[in-house]
Amino acid sequence: MLGDPRITRVTGDVTAAVYRRTEDVGAEQDPERRGDGPVPEAYCWSNLTSGNGSRALWLLLLPFMVVNLAHWMRPGARGSGTAVRLYGVMVRLIALSLTVLLTAAVCEVALDLVAWQCAGAAECVGRRSWLGFLSPDQGGWWSQPGRRLALAALVPTALVGLLWYLSNRTWSAYESQRPLDLEESDNPPAPAAVPEPPGAPAVRPALGRPGFWYGRRLVARLRAAHTAAGFLTVAAAVGGAAARYDRSADGPVPAPVGRLFEVALVLCSIAVVGVVCRRGRSERRLDNRIDRAVTSFLPATALALLFLAAVYAAWSRPRWVSSGALPGEAVFGVLVLGQGLLVVVLAGVAMGLYRRAPEPRTTLRGLGGPTVAMLACALGGVMTGGVAQRVADWLDGPGTPGMGGPSVVEGPPVLLSWQASVIPVLLLLLLFPVTWLVVRTARRARRMGPWIEAEYAQAHPDAGRTRQIARIRATAALTDSAPRIVALVSGATLFLGAGAVVGSWVSGQVPGRALDEAGPLVESVAEAAQATGSWLIGVGFILFVTWGRRAYRDVSARRTIGILWDVGTFWPRAAHPFAPPCYAERAVPDLSSRMCAWTGSTRGRLVISGHSQGSVLAAAAVWQLPAAARRQVALLTYGSPIERLYGRWFPAYFGPGALQGLHRSVHCWRNLWRATDPIGGPVRIDEGDGPEVDRGPLKDPLVYGRTVAHPLPEPVLGHSDYQADPSFAVERAALLDRLGPALPRQATGKVQGSSGRSSG
């Protein structure tokens, strides 16, 4: 990281720390020994993202991470507090529905498929000897349906408890770490030698608020609400079945008992929704409060209701027999329909916010958040439906659930089969735009050939080398086409999902049987779509599990997953508490505290450089600094997605206004980018009469072909090795010169890139 094997940890721990070369330790106390050069310093945060292989298993909760991203994608608009709050409420309700969907899917597998259908069928029990003690033919204590359901409820209850444990454990490592109050530090920064420029922002942007990176209170509230929602879902599945039986039969348990239980369930559910709708977080200060009544009593009350539901269902009902599917499969249809309506309302709110402050660079005209939220719902449906389909096929042996014939189990709700059937249709729809992108990229690469040869002024160009450079540049430009693909997938998912709901409700059968009388061709297509879709979602889920397990043993796979972790977990858990933890809640305070402490103790200035995701961390850390400290900082970014990705997808936080304010508040800023980089790009700041920010596109490769000075072919670097470009050293020296010569020895804070290594 520092170009020297001898390094010393200056501050931090094994998770994240600041390092220097051993010879530079204490350079501030002995400046003569160092000379005029800067003191390089590196911040390593790799263990926050990919240090532990077990973290790869968080990929199984990918829908939670995706919906959390949707929360931060709202358009930026001033003076629209009500609309902003409504946007947040809609996203949090969608996130809550995903928790209910996951728990309901596990209940479908454990309670319906295993305990109700398979354990109640002698032929299925005969194939699964481990279910023998649940069989009615055995006449044991557990043979009654209610008792089987109460026992099977341990599986989804354990899952909800595991999610609570993981969220609470990561909360202890991230959100519970209270950041320093930089305005009241022991070594406040010296007054800025350079006065604030005219037009400098008087109010910090959102990422600069003191409590933005301290989500302890909000995560605690959401964790309590989602945990309670999970327990209530299990309680409804167990107790609801018993209550329905008591209302329809003259059994030993009075029907009013079931009604009383359902009323308590509804009241507790209303309390959960109320907690989710109320944000419960203040970013304008370090909010250290904990809502004890919510965090303690709400999950405990839901767990108590679940226990009562298990006792109620286990009450002896000798004449109760399980047949067909467990009643209540309409829950999945209601969930899918509710998610679709919430996404539509969210889209309406986002459009209203965008119209108040339209910005051409904003992704999908402000609809980035709703499209991503729709993708989160689709991922949740595919993953949960895939598990149910695979388990049903496994239990049924040679039969096909839902198709009649030799099937011994009814199978999962027909909606899951309809959802599986639309997946091949969605893939066929995607085939056309993907083909169009491939053709357009090839044409663009051919058109670039003459420009590239003219750029390098080659008298005898090499056609192969020209094609290589042109292909890489054209492929890197595909990043800007990603919003269209995301919009297409999201829109198709919304309409196909609505069609699946209508088809399942109207027919009440799986697609293969619902279209029996539509002709041989249509019937065969429906059966093929159903089988293919079920296979695809099953294989997709298995791939997720396999990839997660591989990360325990394979370091390269762990790094790959770490890149996904970097992108998806930069933002705090403001929508879903079971999403992977936000590493920036540790990294940003670390960086800002180090910068503020150094400028305060040495009265000097520094250059903080960051590559890729590290540049986003660097900008967020600079926003957290007091005004005086920001004027002592120069910012050097390269391969930075701060505008190309973050500015377009998260306009309320990295939009043009926020980046302009950052440019005005720091001493100076320089950004390097390449046309061959698929991630980084220019920051597009209108500098006016001031010094420009962007420098690029840099030449890549540096040399077109073989020369005497470069006898071997130069590689096309793309997103990596910006420091190998001579422009890097030139621009860093220029920033140091612009900071002024009469300063203490500067420290260059090096922020790592997305691979977990130093980028400075």
What is the tens place of the pLDDT at every residue in 377-394? 998 888 887 788 778 878
| Predicted local confidence at residue 153, as pLDDT | 95
Separation CA 227–CA 222 (nearest Å): 8
pLDDT above 50 (res 36): yes
At 98, the amino acid letter reads L
Mean of the pLDDT values across residues 585-608? 87
DSSP, res 178: P
Helix (H) or strand (E) holding 666: none
| Predicted local confidence at residue 403, as pLDDT | 61
Backbone angles phi, psi at 524, to 5 degrees: -65, -35
| Predicted local confidence at residue 210, as pLDDT | 85
Rg of the chain (C-alpha set): 29
Local confidence band at 372 (pLDDT 50, 70, 90 cut-offs):
very high
pLDDT above 80 (res 673): yes
Name 731's Cβ contacts closer than 8 Å, sequence gap at least 6: 636, 670, 672, 695
| Predicted local confidence at residue 51, as pLDDT | 53
| Predicted local confidence at residue 505, as pLDDT | 87
| Predicted local confidence at residue 375, as pLDDT | 94
| Predicted local confidence at residue 400, as pLDDT | 62
Separation CA 103–CA 108 (nearest Å): 9
Local confidence band at 695 (pLDDT 50, 70, 90 cut-offs):
very high
Local confidence band at 472 (pLDDT 50, 70, 90 cut-offs):
very high
pLDDT above 60 (res 630): yes
Q: Following CA atoms 699, 700, 702, 706 in sequence, which dihedral angle do they give, to the nearest 10 degrees?
A: -130
pLDDT above 60 (res 195): no
Local confidence band at 555 (pLDDT 50, 70, 90 cut-offs):
low
| Predicted local confidence at residue 548, as pLDDT | 62
Rounded alpha-carbon distances, angstroms, from residue 474 to 111, 439, 481, 678, 721: 52, 11, 11, 9, 20
What is the tens place of the pLDDT at every residue in 427-468? 888 899 999 999 999 999 999 999 999 998 877 888 899 999
Local confidence band at 117 (pLDDT 50, 70, 90 cut-offs):
confident
Local confidence band at 557 (pLDDT 50, 70, 90 cut-offs):
low
| Predicted local confidence at residue 249, as pLDDT | 79
- Of residues 517 and 356, more confidence is placed in 356
DSSP, res 413: -
| Predicted local confidence at residue 217, as pLDDT | 85
Local confidence band at 194 (pLDDT 50, 70, 90 cut-offs):
very low
| Predicted local confidence at residue 397, as pLDDT | 67
What is the tens place of the pLDDT at every residue in 717-736? 999 889 889 999 999 989 98
Local confidence band at 597 (pLDDT 50, 70, 90 cut-offs):
confident
pTM, entire model? 0.90
Range with the lowest mean pLDDT among 190-204, 424-438, 576-590? 190-204
For residue 697, whether the previous peptide bond is cis, meaning omega lies within 30 degrees of 0, is yes
What is the tens place of the pLDDT at every residue in 296-344? 899 999 999 999 999 999 998 888 888 878 887 788 889 999 999 999 9
| Predicted local confidence at residue 235, as pLDDT | 96
Separation CA 637–CA 693 (nearest Å): 10
pLDDT above 70 (res 371): yes
Please state, for a pLDDT cut of 70, what percent of the chain lies above it: 85
- Which parts of 554-604 fold into alpha helices (H)? 555-568, 584-602
| Predicted local confidence at residue 675, as pLDDT | 94
| Predicted local confidence at residue 694, as pLDDT | 93
pLDDT above 50 (res 691): yes
- Of residues 659 and 172, more confidence is placed in 659
What is the tens place of the pLDDT at every residue in 235-247? 999 999 999 988 8
Mean pLDDT, the chain, integer: 83
| Predicted local confidence at residue 278, as pLDDT | 87
Q: Is the dihedral of CA 106, 109, 111, 115 positive or negative?
A: negative
CB atoms within 10 A of CB 3: 10
What is the tens place of the pLDDT at every residue in 37-86? 788 899 988 777 665 555 556 777 889 999 999 999 999 877 678 899 99
Local confidence band at 690 (pLDDT 50, 70, 90 cut-offs):
low
Separation CA 156–CA 168 (nearest Å): 18
Q: Sort 13 into a burial class: Cβ within 10 Å, 0-12 / 13-18 / 19+.
A: exposed
